[in-house]
Homo-oligomer: A and B are copies of this chain.
Amino acid sequence: MKKDKFVLGIDFGTESGRVVIFRLRDGEEVAAEVVPYPDGVIDEKLPGGPELEPDWALQNPRDYFLVLEKGVPKSLRAAGLKADEVVGIGTDFTGSTPLATRKDGTPLCLLRKYRREPHAWPKLWKHHAAQPEANRINEIGRERDEDFIRIYGGKYSSEWFFSKVLQVLNEAPAIYAAADKFIEGADWIVWQLTGEEKRNSSSAGYKAMWVKGKGFPSPDFFRAVHPRLECVGKEKLSRDFYSPGTRAGGLTAYWARRTGLKEGTPVCTGILDGHVAAPAMTVTQPGSLALIMGTSLCHMLQGTKQQTVEGICGAVEDGMVPGFWGYEAGQYAVGDLFAWFFKQGVPESIFREARKVKIPFTAELERRAAALQPGASGLLALDWWNGNRSLLIDADLTGLVLGVSLATRPEEIYRALIEATAFGTRLIIEAFENAGLASNTLVACGGLPEKNKLLMQIYADITGREIKLAKQLQTCSALGAAMFGAVAAGAYASIFEAAEHMAHLQNLTYRSRPEHHEIYNQLYEEYKTLHDYFGRGSNDVMKRLKGLRTEEIVT
């Protein structure tokens, strides 16, 4: 019997990195190490530096190194593997997370000269302070009728690459000048591991307006946005982009030493953490929709051609798997929203009851919420606690709870928040469907499907669809990265073959209950009306209130 081989998936997340080792022949997980980032999300104050403005979110690149140095050796030890049993490495990364670097890849924030300058640090995906820049890009894009406006669902997001780069240029031109390159974290980490700056086409497509066969928008467009941006592509990015599954290079001697892996081990080009999960969830063909349910929610779908879908985050040819257009949509706050409620909205009585029956307070809340009937609370919420990603692509929208009365209980609010996120998902499913991209089955992964059965049932009831769960609920991104690593290493001929062997679903299926679905249809109509009223310009009160927040009274 041939001896088993293994692949490594390294998943660089928001608060931590995760190193997972999978068996090549069947995708079995044999070791997993989570390495929290010591600096986490930097959203209040730079380490040893000045305070940040609201809506900022940065990361420290040293934290990425730590994931490699600590996570890889520990996982190898845990699995009892030798270096030569690992045949390939794949990585995935949050995005858009642009780093400003020197020519050699050194992040500016690691240089003494720039470390107190916020714009020298990597801007995390959920950095929302570049909304004025996004507005400018959209304005010029619409004026000039640029391709990306159509492809990106009508709006370029403040979370994406050029919004953040333009913010650097606007607010810290010296940093813009000092940056020889702006590069996605996904590509930067692969550059570090292999010594090869081989950028991936998927991040470029989803986050940076790059289109296969066409490249970036023209210099004319960029000049119209800002004169100094004209040649940003040529000056600070790259012309060559490689599709998922491409071998970027072999592991350097330096990183082989620091991780305990073998020098030259094939490393795949980088991929975004959401997109990489789709094939790991068996979503390699049109017809099923991947839901990656964590702090935020990503919706991934394969299509056979390019279609215009309102308000999605992107559609990229070969974006997730070759031969298909990979469509992405998303919701900014899902797990984050519930975490907010757990911290800011749960009264003592729930804690007291939970202690009495010796369960976590979140379980007590779920137990109570599960006993409620749809519509029984009279509550309805808009889930925009962190803005709206799809379909409105507007970071300046905020959350709403309606229907509160003196009889309203916390578990009712909790359930209304869950329902609101599910209504948001249904809107996205229907926007895809209206564009000819139907999805009859949903496949979920992430932290929420494991923790929260009520949530899954409500999603099934509200969408009227069945929901299956990926086997690797918590590590589907790492599995996807490892699968691409296996392809890059030549162990499988394609990501489809890798998925056939390594990607699996659980037996559990959540099914929509017609009588619940029917009541939810009525609530959904109300949700849509409020969604349009507050989200499509009938009443921009949320934006005006956000504008007022900065008006300081000096007394």
Contacts and interface: CB of A to CB of B under 8 A. Distances in A.
B545 A526 contact: yes
A408 B515 contact: no
Contact of A400 (B398, B404, B516, B539): B404
Contact of A344 (B340, B409, B523, B549): B409
B399 A385 contact: no
Nearest to A538: B533
Interface stretch (A178-186, A220-228, A373-381, A422-430): A373-381
A386 B553 CA distance: 33
B519 A548 contact: yes
B515 A544 contact: no
Nearest to A351: B348
A412 to B, nearest CB: 9
Interface in A118-157: none
A343 to B, nearest CB: 7
A400 B400 contact: yes
Nearest to A515: B553
Contacts of A548: 375-376, 378, 519, 522-523
A233 interface: no
B348 A348 contact: yes
A345 interface: yes
Nearest to A349: B343
A248 to B, nearest CB: 35
A408 B351 contact: no
A54 interface: yes
Interface in A310-345: 333, 336-337, 340, 343-345
Contact of A402 (B375, B522, B523, B542): B542
A78 interface: no
A408 B553 contact: no
Contacts of A343: 347, 349
Contacts of A408: 340, 344, 385, 399
Contact of A541 (B513, B519, B529, B549): B529
A39 to B, nearest CB: 19
Nearest to A407: B54
Contacts of A549: 375-378
A171 interface: no
A103 interface: no
A410 interface: yes
A348 B342 CA distance: 10
A546 interface: yes
A357 interface: no
B553 A373 contact: yes
A290 B516 CA distance: 49
**5 tightest A-B CB contacts, nearest first:** A399-B404, A375-B548, A378-B545, A398-B403, A400-B402
19 contacts: A344-B409, A345-B345, A345-B347, A346-B347, A346-B348, A348-B351, A375-B548, A378-B549, A380-B545, A385-B408, A386-B406, A398-B404, A400-B400, A403-B545, A523-B545, A526-B545, A529-B541, A533-B533, A533-B539
Given A376-B549, A522-B544, A533-B539, 15 more contacts: A333-B406, A345-B345, A373-B551, A375-B549, A377-B549, A378-B549, A399-B405, A400-B400, A402-B534, A402-B542, A402-B545, A403-B545, A516-B553, A526-B544, A526-B545
